[in-house]
Each structure stands twice: as C-alpha cells, then as structure tokens.
C-alpha cells in the first residue's frame, strides 16, 4: 500500500465537507485533483470509502472506520513535518473561542504567544459556545475556548480561569424601579454560554426576569443598553471599561451567583501537537498577564 500525506489530507477534507468542490476550495486545489487523489487513496487501501450521489459524497461504513486512523496519521505526519531539532515550536493551529474570550482575552494572548513562538501560525474563529463545541466535535478546530458548559461525551473540558458576569444599566437607571414582570433584559442568544449562565443564576436565585431583546453580539448589547433600551448581563471583561468611564453602572442582584468557568475544550481522541501544548501552557502560565487582567 502506497499512501501519501496529500491523499490522506484530501480524504479528510472530503469527509468533513461531504462535497468535492468545497474540499477542493479548502485545500486550494482543483476538483479534478481532489477526485484523482481520492481515487488513488481508495485504490491504495483496496476499499471504496464513500457513497456518492449527484450532489454530495458521504462516508460509507468502511470510510467511517478508517476516519479516526487517518486523522491520527495526518496529525502525526504534521508533527514530524514541524519537528525542530533545536526545540523551537513550529506549526499551525486552528482554534475557536466563544465571544467574550475571543474579543477580550485571546487577541492579546495570541499576540504574546506569537512573539514567543514566531514559527507558529494561529487561525481563530469566534462564535458562541454551541458553535465552538460543534467545530471541535467535527474536527474543524484543534482547540476551543468556551464560557459555558459543553455536554458532549467525546469532548474534554479543562479549567482555564474564573470569570464573572456583571448586570449593568445606564447610569440613569434606578435599581428600585426593577420589576420582574417587565421585559427590560437585553441578553445574548440561545446557545451562548453567557445566556446559559445568566438564566441558571437568575432561576437558582428565584429572581424573575423577562427578555426584551436577544442580540448575537456583545457590542450590540452594550450599544442597546447605552441607548436606554434596557439592562444587560455580560462578562466583567466586556463592560469594565464603560463602567470605569461612567457610561454604565453595576446593578446588584445579591442572591444571584454569576461566576463561571472559562475552559479549554478538545476531543478526547485529539493528538496534541507541540504547538497545541505550547499554547495551552502559555495561556495557563502567562496568558492572563499578557492580556492585562488579574489571575
């Protein structure tokens, strides 16, 4: 059997997209090159690995059985390719971060990491916790950073640091005017870790709330609250600047525990490359200081 790394890469891309054209676009090669490499790979392993329809291509039972071995082989080969005898870390990482982490922590951390490890390349996707966990589950992301719990048997959650949500309002808002039956809350969408922690904390504290608006971005919520449309609940990381400048004021819901864990997530069968290990280690030891936030 004569299998090349390129053939394995093509196999994994087609398995991921279930589409030859999308796999070709992702690999930056022609569709004919993808089809040829796939045919050669199937010939090398003496098995048909896909069921084909007029528009899509799907892994059959043989392909599903081969998939985890192909992933491990590809990751191991990439590790060999990026090996440095001088001990320097080299390689490309695709990571995903839920919104607060992606906007307010990781940009600073990645900058510091890139200075320390100049031979690495990091590509980051930002989305809510559901989107990031899905990317990790489907092998589209090497590593995820999430703000809410992830309930997937194939994913490991590893504690990174604590965070706390803050209820905030325009400075003119009078706390005593809060009425549980009045829709005043402007909060994140379903699937967001922030939304999940907020709802859980309010329900456990027995505090009633009605939602006025759901918005899919932290900055949109801040602008809506600033415009006097309601009150919000976001990470302290996201609103501390505006509170310090007198744009917002904190509201005190004493019985509600808005603390939460920020976690690394990765597949249990994930092969840890040197660059992945280095990034996790950097985040744990130096990352928060680089971002300018206290441990």
Q: Which CATH superfamily is domain 91-162+261-291 in?
A: Periplasmic binding protein-like II (3.40.190.10)
DSSP classification of residue 176: G
Residue of 222, 192, 211 lying closest to 99 (CA atoms): 192
pLDDT (average), residues 107-111: 91
Q: Categorize the per-residue pLDDT at 175 as very low, low, confident or very high, splitting at 50, 70 and 90.
A: confident
| Angle of CA points 171, 175, 177, to nearest 5° | 115
Dihedrals φ, ψ of 98, to 5°? -70, 165
Longest pairwise C-alpha distance within the chain: 75
- Length of the chain (residues): 295
Q: Is there a common fold for 91-162+261-291 and 163-259?
A: yes
Would you list the domain boundaries of the chain?
Answer: 5-81, 91-162+261-291, 163-259
- Written out in words, the top-level CATH class of the domain with range 163-259 is alpha beta
- Is the torsion defined by CA of 54, 58, 59, 60 positive or negative? negative
Whether domain 5-81 has CATH 1.10.10.10: the reply is yes
Dihedrals φ, ψ of 172, to 5°? -80, -10
pTM: 0.70
Residue 190 CA to residue 192 CA, distance in Å, equals 5
The beta strand positions in 70-190, using DSSP E, are 91-98, 120-127, 143-146, 155-170, 183-188
Contact 273, 99 (CB under 8 A): no
- 47-89 pLDDT, tens per residue? 899 988 777 898 999 988 888 888 888 877 776 665 555 557 7
Residue with tokens 């967001």: 192
Residue 14 CA to residue 12 CA, distance in Å, equals 6
- 144-171 pLDDT, tens per residue? 999 878 888 889 999 999 999 999 999 9
3-state class (DSSP) for residue 224: helix
């Amino acid at each position: 059997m004569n299998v090349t790394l390129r053939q394995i890469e093509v196999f994994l891309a087609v398995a991921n997209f279930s589409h030859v054209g999308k796999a070709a676009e992702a690999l930056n090669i022609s569709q004919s090159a993808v089809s040829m490499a796939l045919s050669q790979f199937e010939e090398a392993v003496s098995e048909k690995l896909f069921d084909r329809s007029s528009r899509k291509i799907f892994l059959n039972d043989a392909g599903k059985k081969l998939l985890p071995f192909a992933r491990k082989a590809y990751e191991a080969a990439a590790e060999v390719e990026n090996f440095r005898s001088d001990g320097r870390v080299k390689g490309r990482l695709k990571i995903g971060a839920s919104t607060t982490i992606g906007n307010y922590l990781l940009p600073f951390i990645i900058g510091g990491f890139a200075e320390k490890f100049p031979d690495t390349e990091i590509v980051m996707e930002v989305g809510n916790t559901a989107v990031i966990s899905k990317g990790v589950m489907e092998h589209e992301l090497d590593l995820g950073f999430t703000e809410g719990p992830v309930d997937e048997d194939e994913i490991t959650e590893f504690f990174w640091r604590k965070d706390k949500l803050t209820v905030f309002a325009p400075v003119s808002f009078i706390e005593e005017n809060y009425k549980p039956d009045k829709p005043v809350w402007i909060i994140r969408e379903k699937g967001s870790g922030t939304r999940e922690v907020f709802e859980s904390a309010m329900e456990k504290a027995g505090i009633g709330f009605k939602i006025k608006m759901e918005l899919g971005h932290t900055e949109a919520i801040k602008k809506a609250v600033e415009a006097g449309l309601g009150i919000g609940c976001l990470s302290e990381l996201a609103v501390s600047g505006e509170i310090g400048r007198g744009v917002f004021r904190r509201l005190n819901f004493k019985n509600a525990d808005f603390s939460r864990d920020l976690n690394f997530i990765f597949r249990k069968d994930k092969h840890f490359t040197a660059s992945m290990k280095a990034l996790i280690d950097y985040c744990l030891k130096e990352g928060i200081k680089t971002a300018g936030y206290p441990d």
